[in-house]
């Protein structure tokens, strides 16, 4: 045998051994390359014991990754480096992904548990007939506050936050649309305003809030508010509910000028490799008992009507977190404003963050 043939033989045998070792390692853990499922979700947004339960029930191994904003999620999906099988964007990003052909249509025959969703959360403008998305959680944006630290002062308006007595007292979630939205709403403008003059006015007004802003943070806002590190927080309603379960002194309000009503839905991105498994995962998450357990853990509001009977009455009857349809009608859902306008929101938010430094 000449040297070259021997060389290629050695390479072939070593590759076969390595491939065999990898595949037996996976098999010994109960999964193979084809029955893994990569789930991309917001941080702190699932009861992880349910992932274990799903793995046990289906034999599918879940690889779980998290993001902290719609924009970060979108960038990762567009880059296409990871084969995400499930993602959980909010409504305006679903609209954008759908328009950019980044989503796979759902096979509703594989989602019998879809019947559990309250029709109020189905067929919404960002995804007519739920062709691409299934409701996961929903809520509002508002202010969580600590009346004890505020010496009984009540918060009812966005403009209350500009009170000079609140120096270094406010925490903001790190979201461009949420923070810019607060500036816009406080001036009486829409959350979907694209008028450059109004956007700049909102950003300038936010700059004036700077002395009161202690920090702009991610999920740690829950721990900081519960531990009374600040007296006011701009938060998503589910985080407020979680904070208030840790510290009963706090309260949550949707300001009188109006605010945002949002929906986070499960989708199957174009990057998916396990479309069958993705449908199984979505259907599993829609099971009423699974949803009730997930909702209890996460603290956000569920759109799953069938799950409500497995949840504490005081939770589902709390109108701060399950606002009535009359109330939600007064709130605004973020629209997909297009690449240019979204970039303007992000840029102005960044400038506001820099202004603080």
Tell whether residue 90 is a contact of ligand SPD (CB under 6 A). yes
Spell out the residues 6+ positions from residue 316 whose beta carbon is closer than 8 angstroms to its own.
Answer: 308, 322
What backbone phi and psi angles, to 5 degrees, belong to 116?
A: -75, -15
Smallest gap from Cβ 11 to ligand SPD, in A, equals: 48
Residue 300, annotated as binding a ligand: no
Between the alpha carbon of residue 318 and those of residues 142, 222, 231, 237, the distances in Å are: 15, 19, 22, 12
Site membership for ligand SPD, residue 264 (CB under 6 A): yes
Whose Cβ is closer to ligand SPD: residue 36's or residue 41's?
A: 41
Instruction: Compute the least distance from the CB of residue 262 to ligand SPD, in Å.
Output: 4
Q: How far is the CB of 90 from ligand SPD (least distance, A)?
A: 4
Cβ closer to ligand SPD: 144 or 166?
A: 144
Question: Does 72 sit near ligand SPD (CB under 6 A)?
Answer: no
- If one asks whether residue 44 binds ligand SPD (CB under 6 A), the answer comes out as yes
Residue placing its CB nearer to ligand SPD in the complex, 219 or 318:
219
Q: Is 252 in the site for ligand SPD (CB under 6 A)?
A: no
3-state secondary structure 109-126: HHCHHHHHECHHHCCCCC
Q: How far apart are CA 76 and CA 220, in angstroms?
A: 23
219 part of the interface to ligand SPD, by CB under 6 A: yes
Q: Which is nearer to ligand SPD, 60 or 225 (CB)?
A: 225
Could you count the other beta carbons within 10 Å of the beta carbon of residue 346? 15
Q: Based on the shown chain and the rule CB under 6 A, indicate whether residue 322 belongs to the binding site for ligand SPD.
A: no
Site for ligand SPD in 221-240 (CB under 6 A): 236
Region 3-42 residues binding ligand SPD, contact defined as CB under 6 A? 42
Output the smallest distance, CB 264 to ligand SPD, in A: 5
User: Do β-strands 133-145 and 232-236 pair in parallel, antiparallel, or remain unpaired?
Assistant: antiparallel
The beta-strand segments (E) located in the chain are 36-42, 61-67, 86-87, 133-145, 170-173, 213-217, 232-236, 251-253, 261-267
Residue 187: DSSP 8-state: T
Q: Which is nearer to ligand SPD, 103 or 179 (CB)?
A: 179
The least distance separating ligand SPD from the CB of residue 93, rounded to whole angstroms, comes to 8
Q: Does 45 bind ligand SPD (CB under 6 A)?
A: yes
Please report, for residues 42, 127, 293, 316, the alpha-carbon distance to residue 78 in angstroms, rounded to integers and kept in the order given. Answer: 17, 20, 32, 37
CA distance 129 to 62: 28
195: left (phi > 0), else alpha (psi -120 to 50), else beta? beta
Tell me the number of residues near ligand SPD by CB under 6 A.
9
- The torsion region of residue 218 among left (phi > 0), alpha (psi -120 to 50) and beta comes to beta
Q: Which is nearer to ligand SPD, 203 or 222 (CB)?
A: 222
Annotated binding residues, as ranges?
A: 92
Q: Which residues bind ligand SPD (CB under 6 A)?
A: 42-45, 90, 219, 236, 262, 264
Annotated binding residues for spermidine, as ranges?
A: 92
């Amino acid at each position: 045998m000449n040297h070259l043939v021997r060389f290629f033989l050695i390479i072939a045998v070593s590759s076969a051994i390595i491939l065999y070792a990898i595949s037996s390692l996976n098999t010994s853990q109960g999964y193979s390359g084809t029955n893994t499922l990569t789930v991309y979700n917001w941080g702190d947004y699932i009861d992880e014991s349910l992932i274990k339960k799903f793995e046990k029930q289906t034999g599918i191994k879940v690889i779980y990754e998290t993001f902290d904003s719609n924009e970060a999620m979108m960038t990762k999906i567009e880059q296409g480096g990871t084969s995400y099988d499930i993602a959980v964007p909010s409504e305006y990003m679903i609209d954008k992904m759908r328009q950019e052909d980044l989503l796979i249509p759902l096979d509703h025959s594989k989602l019998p548990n879809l019947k559990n969703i309250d029709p109020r959360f189905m067929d919404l403008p960002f995804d007519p007939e739920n062709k691409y998305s299934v409701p996961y959680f929903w809520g509002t944006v508002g202010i969580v506050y600590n009346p004890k630290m505020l010496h009984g002062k009540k918060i009812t308006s966005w403009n209350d936050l500009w009170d000079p007595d609140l120096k270094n007292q406010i925490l903001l979630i790190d979201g461009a649309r949420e923070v810019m939205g607060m500036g816009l709403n406080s001036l009486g403008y829409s959350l979907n305003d694209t008028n450059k003059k109004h956007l700049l006015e909102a950003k300038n007004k936010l700059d004036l809030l700077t002395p009161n802003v202690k920090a702009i943070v991610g999920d740690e806002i829950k721990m900081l508010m519960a531990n009374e590190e600040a007296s006011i927080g701009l938060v998503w309603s589910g985080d407020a509910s979680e904070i208030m379960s840790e510290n009963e002194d706090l309260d949550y309000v949707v300001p009188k000028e109006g605010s945002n009503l949002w929906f986070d839905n499960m989708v199957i991105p174009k990057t998916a490799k396990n479309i069958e498994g993705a449908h199984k995962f979505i259907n599993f998450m829609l099971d009423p008992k699974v949803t009730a357990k997930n909702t209890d853990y996460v603290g956000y509001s569920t759109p799953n009507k069938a799950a409500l009977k497995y949840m504490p009455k005081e939770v589902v009857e709390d109108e701060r977190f399950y606002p009535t349809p009359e109330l939600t009608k007064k709130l605004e859902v973020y629209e997909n404003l297009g690449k240019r306008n979204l970039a303007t929101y992000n840029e102005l938010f960044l400038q506001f963050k820099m202004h603080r430094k």
